[in-house]
Structure 1
Amino acid sequence: MSDALLNALAEALAGLVTAVETSDEEVLDPDTAVKWLEQTGHAFAGLGAADRRALDVLFREVALRQPPGAWRDELAQVSEEFGLDQDDHHATLDTVAEAARRYADTVRRADPATPVPTCPGWDLGDLTRHLGTVHGWAEHLVTARPATRVRPGDLALDPPADPLARPDWFSARADGFTRAARAADPDAPVWSPGADPSVRHYPRHVLAETLVHLADAEIALTGTACPLDPGAAADALDHFLATAPHVPWLAEPLAHLDRDGAVLRLTARDSRTVWTLVLGGGGFTWSRGSARGTPTADVTADAGDLLLLLHRRYGADDARFTLTGDRGLLDDWLAAGGL
């Protein structure tokens, strides 16, 4: 692709985005504007670090080519508004570190023998050993960067036999992962259990695991999970949907639902994020934003609660969720795709 074409595309896209953002409510419905911009932002979020930096440069050059004034000032904000000038890899690691700290604080002051009802057969000591193993396994992968699968059981992660010692061991494993991932090139190739065979996969993977197991610990101790950050929960839900088609024990049951053409929509009240899942073709496809028409089933809740619903930490009958349409579709999805 020529530089002239890239510059023209960048100028057209930056201009369109700015026009949407600055449109009067009487010209463009605000909810429609949000959906359009959210879809664009989601597409940008899927780019690698090098491509995001390149797009940031193109957008800034578009602004600089305009004469001084309000339009130029608005164009100059496009990269910032979509986070193209930020390093998502390190921002995600900051969120992982905070979630890990919160998990350690939760279990450190609890009886490790407390049963975890959302993980049948486990107690808090088992849960902490598992989550520490996830962090240690991910540290090995971003450091050694193997090209083929490495199972956690292949590594000498040495979880303590004494359950009381596991919170500190977990904290050390979590610190080790975040340090290793910060030091690694996020675009470096490495085997992953998903669509993105790069180091960048693992902060999102570990974040999703940590958020869900934090909720497990809180539910075990209080009966309910504390609210999750909407942005972090939305990213974890993205990660689950992107990874599921590549995990056989998730993909195969979903492929046999026999609901081709059915549409499941998930709507987050707090983040205003919408996910549209279309079943068929031996699996499903998904996108951010609402598809045209009425979905077969719609579920509305906060982003964190939707994440926990898909992981079957809450039941669909819980008052957190507002359901419309075909309840059977949601039940079928949860039976096939739940963790």
Structure 2
Amino acid sequence: MSDALLSALAEALAGLVTAVETADEDVLDPDTAVEWLESTGHAFAGLSAADRRALDGLFRATAPREPEGPRRNVLLKVSEGFGLTSGLPAGPASGLLSGPSADAHAAACDAVLDHTRRLAAVVRDADPALPVPGCPDWTLADLARHVGTVHRWAEHLVRTRSATRVLARDVPLDPPADPAAYADWLVAGAERFAATARDADPDATVWSPGADPHVRHYPRHVLFETLVHLADAELAVDGKTGPLDPATAADAVDHFLTDAPYIARIAEPVSRLGRDGTVLRLTARDTGAVWTLVLGGGGFTWTRGSGGAEPTAAVEADAGELLLLLHHRYAADDPCFTHAGDRSLLDDWLAATAL
């Protein structure tokens, strides 16, 4: 089934639910309305966690298309009314959706530009045809073109406040014909994104591929995408990464875990793991941050902290190393990692989350 058809069906259903919710009693019998909604909710309850999150994302995408008012307010509550969001992690993960301060938003915009300049410096004097081990079948030119595309795609979404998904191929990219010019093209795209995002209201609604359909999603999303691909470029050129700020890396782990249930290529394999009730714990030596993942219900939940749960498996390293492990840039056997418990759980998780 195509994305367009799924979106159309979700929008039609959300519109029907909204009409039922807002109908006067003399138009629709309340008992009949409750029966309709309960039947639909019962059907949704049988979906896997991955499918419920995907449907939640489709429902959320319908609301920004409506003007401010009662109808939009009802649309925003459709997922909650059907219990689609039950089981999502509490604590810091859900807190990430409340929005950063204005200073934090601006800082993320500045960090995108800083990391892109670092990436451009790596790319500028390197062979564009150099293979990138972290991205099989990619050259350094491919990596630079991808990052520049992400910047321009995100800038378009933030600037236009698009309520629907926009494909990168539909955004003007204007990559240079000569890969030797990619470094300057990268910086130009990052400058434009940072300026647009810095001037935007972080709380403005816009379609996003993750858990948070607001402008505030994008500086962090683009920053962490750039950060991981900067590490890719450094590993390709120098065989090692440059310094990774521990706090930024820890925030990137938060972001990855928050958005993973909304990424079908991750959520669906995780839903098939069959490791219900197992607990995977990640501990950052340098920041002290702890992430506890509990598998089950066709997906997983996570919290910051130990949560009192006894881990089935645990892995410890610096925050940047854990980030690159989650993104499959470091192998779990790398000596920087310390393991405890059932190592097969970590291996199963990494196999399921490989993009």
One-letter identity of the residue aligned with 1:48? G
Of 98, 108, 114, the match for 1:47: 98
What per-residue deviation string (whole Å, max 9, x for no partner) do you get for residues 155-200 of structure 1? 1211112110111111100111000000111100000001100000
For residue 42 of structure 1, report the CA deviation from its aligned partner: 6.9
Match of 2:263 in 1: 247
Do the aligned residues in 2 keep the contact of 1:299 with 1:324 (CA within 8 Å)?
A: yes
Counterpart check, 1:236 vs 2:252: yes
Match of 1:289 in 2: 305
Equivalences for 1:73-112 in 2 at 5 Å?
87-112=103-128
Equivalences for 1:125-164 in 2 at 5 Å?
125-164=141-180
What per-residue deviation string (whole Å, max 9, x for no partner) do you get for residues 257-314 of structure 1? 0000110000001111100100001100011111214201111001011000001001
Do the aligned residues in 2 keep the contact of 1:95 with 1:232 (CA within 8 Å)?
A: no
Match of 1:74 in 2: none
Counterpart check, 1:193 vs 2:244: no
Distance 1:157-1:163 versus aligned 2 partners, 3 A rule: same
What fraction of aligned residue pairs are identical, expressed as a percent? 64
What per-residue deviation string (whole Å, max 9, x for no partner) do you get for residues 222-258 of structure 1? 2221231011111111111111101111110011100
Of 328, 334, 337, the match for 2:350: 334
Match of 1:217 in 2: 233
User: What is the DSSP-based 3-state SS (H/G/I as helix, E as strand, rest coil) of the residue aligned with 2:205?
Assistant: coil
Of 179, 185, 189, the match for 2:195: 179
User: What is the DSSP-based 3-state SS (H/G/I as helix, E as strand, rest coil) of the residue aligned with 2:336?
Assistant: coil
One-letter identity of the residue aligned with 1:121? D
Q: TM-score, normalised by structure 1?
A: 0.76
User: What is the DSSP-based 3-state SS (H/G/I as helix, E as strand, rest coil) of the residue aligned with 2:98?
Assistant: coil
Distance 1:210-1:144 versus aligned 2 partners, 3 A rule: same
User: What is the DSSP-based 3-state SS (H/G/I as helix, E as strand, rest coil) of the residue aligned with 1:87?
Assistant: helix
For residue 124 of structure 1, report the CA deviation from its aligned partner: 0.6
What per-residue deviation string (whole Å, max 9, x for no partner) do you get for residues 17-55 of structure 1? xxxxxxxxxxxxxxxxxxxxxx97777554235xxxxxx
User: What is the DSSP-based 3-state SS (H/G/I as helix, E as strand, rest coil) of the residue aligned with 1:298?
Assistant: strand
Q: Distance in 2 between matches of 1:168 and 1:101?
A: 9
What per-residue deviation string (whole Å, max 9, x for no partner) do you get for residues 56-112 of structure 1? xxxxxxxxxxxxxxxxxxxxxxxxxxxx6x622112112222111111111112111
Superposition CA RMSD, Å: 1.6
Match of 2:18 in 1: none
Please list every run of at least 4 consecutive aligned residues from structure 1 whose deviation after the TM superposition is greater than 3 angstroms.
39-46
Q: TM-score, normalised by structure 2?
A: 0.72
Counterpart check, 1:207 vs 2:223: yes
Q: Distance in 2 between matches of 1:43 and 1:192?
A: 16
Distance 1:277-1:293 versus aligned 2 partners, 3 A rule: closer
For residue 114 of structure 1, report the CA deviation from its aligned partner: 1.0
Equivalences for 1:273-288 in 2 at 5 Å?
273-288=289-304
Distance 1:216-1:233 versus aligned 2 partners, 3 A rule: same
Aligned length: 266
Q: Distance in 2 between matches of 1:116 and 1:315?
A: 15
Q: Distance in 2 between matches of 1:146 and 1:45?
A: 22
Unaligned 5+ segments in structure 2 are 1-89
